[in-house]
Chains A and B, each alone.
Chain A
Amino acid sequence: MTTETLTPPEQGVPDMNNMRKIAMWVFLGSEVLFFGSLITTFLIYRTRVGDGPSASQVFDIPFTSISSFILLMSSLTMVLAHHASFRKDWRQMRVWLLATAALGMVFLAGQVFEFTEFVDHGLTVTTSPFGSSFFLLTGVHGAHVAVGVLLLAATAFMSFSGRLRDGEGMNVEIIGLYWHFVDIVWIVIFTVVYLLQV
Chain B
Amino acid sequence: MATLNPPREELHSSGPAREGVWGWLTTTDHKKIGILYGGSAIVFFLVGGIEALLIRVQLAVPNGEFLSADSYSQMFTMHATTMVFLVVMPAAAAFTNYFLPLLIGARDVAFPRLNAFSYWVFLFGGIFLTTSFFLGGAPDGGWFGYAPLSTQLNEVVRMDYWALGLQFVGLASLLASVNFITTIFAMRAPGMTLMRMPVFVWMALVINFLLLFSLPIITVGLIEVFLDRNLGTLFFDAANGGDPILWQHLFWLFGHPEVYVLILPAMGVVSEILPTFSRKPLFGRSFVIFSGIAIGFMGFGVWAHHMFTAGLGPVAEAAFALTTMFIAVPTGVKIFNWLGTIWGGSIRLATPMLFSLGFIAMFVIGGLSGVTHSIAPADWQQTDTYYVVAHLHYVLFGGAVLGLLGGLYYWWPKITGKMLHEGLGKIHFWSILVGFNLTFAPMHLLGLNGMPRRTYRYPEGLGFEFWNFLATLGSFLIAASMLVLFWNIYRTWRRGEVAGPDPWDGRTLEWTTSSPPPVYNFAQIPVVEHEDDFWHRKYTTSEDGTSVAIDPPPNMDLEPDANIHLPSPSFYPALAAAGMFVILMGLVYLPWGLVAVGAGFLATMWGLFGWSMEPLTREDH
Interface of chain A residues 1 through 33 with chain B (CB within 8 A): 1, 5-7, 10-16, 18-19, 22-23, 26-27, 29-31, 33
B602 CB within 8 Å of chain A: no
Which residues of chain A have C-beta atoms less than 8 A from B214's C-beta? Answer: 33
Interface of chain B residues 208 through 260 with chain A (CB within 8 A): 212-217, 219-221, 223-224, 227, 231-235, 237, 240-243, 246, 250, 253
A156 to B174, CA, bound (A): 28
B372 CB within 8 Å of chain A: no
B181 CB within 8 Å of chain A: yes
Which residues of chain B have C-beta atoms less than 8 A from A119's C-beta? Answer: none
- Closest-by-CB residue of B relative to A135 is B233
Whether B186 contacts A19 by the Cβ 8 Å rule is yes
Q: Which of B233, B520, B564 contacts A136 (CB 8 A)?
A: B233
Whether A14 contacts B110 by the Cβ 8 Å rule is yes
Which residues of chain A have C-beta atoms less than 8 A from B107's C-beta? Answer: 12
A7 to B616, CA, bound (A): 22
Whether B217 contacts A26 by the Cβ 8 Å rule is no
Binds B, one of A37-45, A73-81, A82-90: A37-45
**Interface flags, B189-221, vs A, CB<8A=1, else 0:** 011000000000000000000001111110111
Whether A37 contacts B241 by the Cβ 8 Å rule is no
**Interface flags, B175-189, vs A, CB<8A=1, else 0:** 001110110011110
Q: Contacts A29-B213, A41-B246 given; indicate if A23 touches B182 (C-beta within 8 A).
A: yes
A169 CB within 8 Å of chain B: no
Interface of chain A residues 128 through 145 with chain B (CB within 8 A): 128-129, 131-133, 136
B563 CB within 8 Å of chain A: yes
- Closest-by-CB residue of B relative to A125 is B233
- Closest-by-CB residue of B relative to A27 is B178
Whether A7 contacts B234 by the Cβ 8 Å rule is no
Whether A30 contacts B186 by the Cβ 8 Å rule is no
Q: How far is the CB of B527 from chain A (nearest CB, A)?
A: 9
Q: How far is the CB of A59 from chain B (nearest CB, A)?
A: 19
Which residues of chain A have C-beta atoms less than 8 A from B221's C-beta? Answer: 37
Q: How far is the CB of B157 from chain A (nearest CB, A)?
A: 21
Q: Contacts A23-B111, A126-B231, A128-B240 given; indicate if A41 touches B212 (C-beta within 8 A).
A: no
Whether A13 contacts B185 by the Cβ 8 Å rule is no
A163 to B241, CA, bound (A): 54
B565 CB within 8 Å of chain A: yes
- Closest-by-CB residue of B relative to A11 is B525
A129 to B245, CA, bound (A): 14
A48 CB within 8 Å of chain B: yes
Q: How far is the CB of B258 from chain A (nearest CB, A)?
A: 14
A122 CB within 8 Å of chain B: no
Q: How far is the CB of A78 from chain B (nearest CB, A)?
A: 20
- Closest-by-CB residue of B relative to A24 is B178
Interface of chain A residues 91 through 149 with chain B (CB within 8 A): 125-126, 128-129, 131-133, 136
Whether B220 contacts A5 by the Cβ 8 Å rule is no
Q: Which of B219, B243, B616 contacts A34 (CB 8 A)?
A: B219
Which residues of chain A have C-beta atoms less than 8 A from B106's C-beta? Answer: 14
Chain A, interface residues (CB within 8 Å), range: 35 or more
B155 CB within 8 Å of chain A: no
Whether B220 contacts A37 by the Cβ 8 Å rule is yes
Which residues of chain A have C-beta atoms less than 8 A from B505's C-beta? Answer: none
Which residues of chain A have C-beta atoms less than 8 A from B235's C-beta? Answer: 41, 45, 129, 132-133
Which residues of chain B have C-beta atoms less than 8 A from A37's C-beta? Answer: 216-217, 219-221, 250, 253
A11 to B182, CA, bound (A): 18
Whether A30 contacts B215 by the Cβ 8 Å rule is yes
- Closest-by-CB residue of A relative to B246 is A44
A128 to B239, CA, bound (A): 11
Interface of chain A residues 171 through 190 with chain B (CB within 8 A): none
A12 to B520, CA, bound (A): 10
A22 to B213, CA, bound (A): 16
Interface of chain B residues 152 through 178 with chain A (CB within 8 A): 174, 177-178
Whether B191 contacts A6 by the Cβ 8 Å rule is yes
B65 CB within 8 Å of chain A: no
Q: Quick one: which of A18, A22, A30, A45 has the most chain B CB within 10 A?
A: A30
Q: How far is the CB of B477 from chain A (nearest CB, A)?
A: 42
B561 CB within 8 Å of chain A: yes
A179 to B613, CA, bound (A): 22
Which residues of chain B have C-beta atoms less than 8 A from A48's C-beta? Answer: 241-242
Which residues of chain A have C-beta atoms less than 8 A from B237's C-beta? Answer: 129
Whether B182 contacts A26 by the Cβ 8 Å rule is yes
Q: How far is the CB of A178 from chain B (nearest CB, A)?
A: 13
Which residues of chain B have C-beta atoms less than 8 A from A6's C-beta? Answer: 188, 190-191
Listed by A's residue number, 22 A-B pairs whose Cβ atoms lie within 8 Å are: A5-B188, A11-B524, A12-B561, A12-B565, A13-B563, A19-B186, A22-B181, A22-B185, A22-B186, A23-B181, A26-B177, A26-B212, A33-B214, A37-B219, A37-B221, A48-B242, A50-B234, A126-B232, A128-B241, A129-B235, A129-B242, A131-B234
Q: Give the top 8 A-B pairs by smallest Cβ distance, nearest first.
A: A34-B216, A132-B233, A48-B241, A37-B220, A33-B216, A126-B232, A23-B182, A11-B525
Q: Which residues of A contact B (CB under 8 A)?
A: 1, 5-7, 10-16, 18-19, 22-23, 26-27, 29-31, 33-34, 37-38, 41, 44-45, 48-50, 125-126, 128-129, 131-133, 136, 163
Q: Which residues of B contact A (CB under 8 A)?
A: 106-107, 110-111, 174, 177-179, 181-182, 185-188, 190-191, 212-217, 219-221, 223-224, 227, 231-235, 237, 240-243, 246, 250, 253, 520, 524-525, 561, 563-565, 613, 616
Known contacts A5-B185, A126-B233, A163-B613; 6 additional CB pairs below 8 A are A22-B181, A45-B241, A45-B242, A49-B241, A126-B232, A129-B240
